[in-house]
């Protein structure tokens, strides 16, 4: 039996790429500054890198699962060019009210619920308490807390930093600050909001 490894879990929209709402074309992607450096640091520390993304746009029929996979293949190639191996990505196409047909379910994978994290942990043999989850929404922090992820980090900018999570999370202004957290250092004051 192989040992469990830690993971750097990343929300996609707002953490990997700029949040523009229902993004599905590679031409729309603008990577967030520092994302590749963060991932390279994570790899050096033997973290697996896994993206977790709510994609209710699929359920709303704004784009298809094939569009999502095509975009993620393109994104994986962009990361490879930056010497980063993405170990996996998980998505939830469902929405309890706004989705159509079979996608209209209250899915346990949709953040703030922890389903995607739990699937990833099982598939990739992840040590959740030693892992780190970077999101830009309270629902990311809530999902991470529910799954028992050890370090929760909210990248400021998309949502206010005063949400009810029921677990400690750190608010950072930049992805560079996350590198320090991963290494067990405390980020510099000018990288933190709280």
Whether residue 46 contacts residue 7, with contact meaning beta carbons closer than 8 Å, is answered with no
Q: Which is nearer to Mg ion, 112 or 125 (CB)?
A: 112
Whether residue 115 contacts residue 109, with contact meaning beta carbons closer than 8 Å, is answered with yes
The answer to whether 123 is a known catalytic residue is: no
**Binding residues for Mg ion restricted to 8-27, rule: CB under 5 A:** 11, 13-14
From the list 82, 58, 83, the residue with the least C-alpha distance to 71 is 58
| Strand residues in 19-116 grouped as ranges (E) | 48-54, 88-92
Measured from the CB of residue 114, what is the shortest distance to Mg ion in angstroms? 16
Which candidate in 11, 109, 136, 140 is catalytic? 11
Whether residue 104 contacts residue 97, with contact meaning beta carbons closer than 8 Å, is answered with yes
Q: Which is nearer to Mg ion, 143 or 181 (CB)?
A: 143
> How many residues belong to the site for Mg ion (CB under 5 A)?
4
**Binding residues for Mg ion restricted to 17-76, rule: CB under 5 A:** none
Residue with tokens 């807390």: 145
Point out the residue whose Cβ comes nearest to Mg ion: 14
The answer to whether 13 is a known catalytic residue is: yes
**Binding residues for Mg ion restricted to 114-143, rule: CB under 5 A:** 136
Neighbouring CB atoms inside 10 A of 125's CB total 14
Interface residues toward Mg ion, by CB under 5 A: 11, 13-14, 136
Give catalytic residues, as residue numbers: 11, 13
């Amino acid at each position: 039996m192989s040992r469990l490894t830690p993971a750097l879990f990343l929300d996609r929209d707002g953490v990997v790429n700029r949040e523009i709402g229902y993004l599905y074309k590679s031409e729309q992607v603008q990577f967030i500054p520092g994302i590749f450096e963060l991932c390279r640091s994570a790899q050096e520390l033997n973290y697996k890198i896994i993206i977790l993304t709510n994609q209710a746009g699929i359920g709303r029929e704004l784009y298809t699962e094939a569009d999502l996979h095509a975009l993620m293949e393109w994104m994986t190639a962009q990361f490879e060019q930056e010497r980063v191996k993405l170990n996996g990505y998980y998505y939830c196409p469902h929405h309890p009210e706004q989705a159509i047909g079979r996608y209209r379910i209250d899915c346990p994978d949709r953040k703030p619920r922890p389903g995607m994290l739990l699937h990833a942990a099982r598939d990739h043999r992840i040590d959740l308490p030693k892992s780190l989850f970077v999101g830009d929404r309270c629902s990311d922090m809530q999902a991470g807390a529910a799954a028992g992820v050890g370090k929760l980090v909210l990248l400021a900018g998309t949502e206010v930093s005063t949400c009810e999570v029921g677990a400690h999370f750190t608010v950072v202004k930049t992805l560079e600050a996350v590198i320090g957290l991963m290494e067990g250092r405390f980020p510099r004051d000018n990288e933190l909001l709280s």
